[in-house]
Structure 1
Amino acid sequence: MHTTTSNASLLERMAGVKLLALDVDGVLSDGRLYFQADDMETKAFHTLDGQGLKLLQQSGVSVALITGRESPMVTRRAEALGIHHLHQGIKRKLSVLQQLGQELGVALEQMAYCGDDLPDLAPIHQCGVGITVPNAPPYIREHADWVTERQGGHGAVREICDALLQARGQWDAIVSRYLNDQA
């Protein structure tokens, strides 16, 4: 199912989002892993996604990264973006979301989750807004409320952030701040 943000029910749920949780590989990055001869792993992150995540956090929406792998690059990226809810090496992502929801006082219905593979299926299905990217397999896309236009690692997260800010009625004020050089 490929749902756009013109769906009224989806927009209403997006307006109530208090926490955006993201998988990393395949969503915040393009999913490819690069290993150097010295066994160092590298990843590439899109700057548009970073700006979107900063804007979303400034608007009052919490952000969490929940990934099955452990990577120092993900730690560095989270720190650079001011993301305090970083969970690495996680196999059961829904359990982490439920625990995080209890800590923050946020129900699953007030969460948006974006993932691209089987470990992401339960959060996509149970959060208020389940999102995936077009590079996800069809059996993941069919369970999502929304499939982004942009690929993971290529601005998909920015697309999500912008849509959430628009649904919350905050987008025009953000653009105005930048137009007036007051950001």
Structure 2
Amino acid sequence: MAAAPLTAAERASRVKLMIFDVDGVLTDGSLMFTAEGDYMKPFNSMDGYGLNLLRKAGIETAIITGRHSEIVVRRAQELKISHVHQGAANKAVVFAELLRATGHTPDVCGYMGDDWPDLGVMVQCGFAAAPANSHPEVIARAHWVSQARGGHGAAREVCEVLLRAQHRYDEMLALALGAPGA
């Protein structure tokens, strides 16, 4: 008899490394260009706080993105994300390199993506997540889909799902409340 497939919560409980795409996940996917040709990306502070919570709970975070931007470097530094891979033409190849660098196996990795370039990583990870406004092919392959749109709280939602699945949510909340002994 075959074992029942793992639930999203069971998959989330195993995650040691959570990887995020940027455009459409940590941002809403908008690119705002200046007259000089520079562009800006709006990041959500609650999403950023969620990534900080993961780090505090001992879950590593990483970024794999197809674009290259100094804005992403700056945001990753603020959030203390140690694994940042930009300009990834083939995200699955970069994922393999990240696995070698960290020593993790795919089953303990999570990935949140929103479009076709993310599929090669999502289908390998133990936990695949997608923002609510992701492409239908991505949603079809995700183990979990947020209620929020990319750049508008989707990353925070997935961070809280991981914390709850790993029984760390209450501990992190107690720290935020300044509870004694927390």
Band of TM-score, shorter chain: over 0.9
The answer to whether the aligner puts 1:19 opposite 2:17 as a matched pair is yes
Q: How does 1:76-95 map to 2 (within 5 A)?
A: 76-95=74-93
Unaligned runs of 5+ in 1: 1-6
Which of 112, 119, 134 is matched with 2:110 structurally?
112
TM-score (norm 1): 0.92
C-alpha RMSD of the superposition: 1.5
Which residue number in structure 2 is paired with residue 4 of structure 1?
none
Match of 2:143 among 131, 142, 145: 145
How far residue 143 of structure 1 moved from its aligned partner, in angstroms, is 1.1
Shift of the alpha carbon at 1:135? 1.2
TM-score by length of 2: 0.92
Segments of 5+ residues of structure 2 without an aligned counterpart are none
Deviation at 1:176, TM superposition (A): 1.5
User: Which residue matches 1:64?
Assistant: 62
Give the distance between the partners of 2:16 and 2:83, measured in 1 at CA.
13
The 3-state SS of whatever aligns with 2:123 is helix
| CA displacement at 1:99 relative to structure 2 | 1.6
Within a 5 Å distance, the mapping from 1:118-157 to structure 2 comes to: 118-157=116-155
The number of equivalent residue pairs is: 177
> Would the alpha carbon gap of residues 105 and 136 (structure 1) be closer, same or farther in structure 2, given more than 3 Å must change?
same
> In the alignment, what sits opposite 2:29?
31
Match of 1:3 in 2: none
* C-alpha distance in 2 between matches for 1:9 and 1:143: 14
Asked whether the 8 Å contact 2:132–2:154 carries over to 1, the reply is no
Indicate if the aligned counterparts of 2:57 and 2:172 stay in contact, CA closer than 8 A: no
Between the aligned residues of both structures, percent identity stands at: 42
Q: 1:55 aligns with which of 41, 53, 78?
A: 53
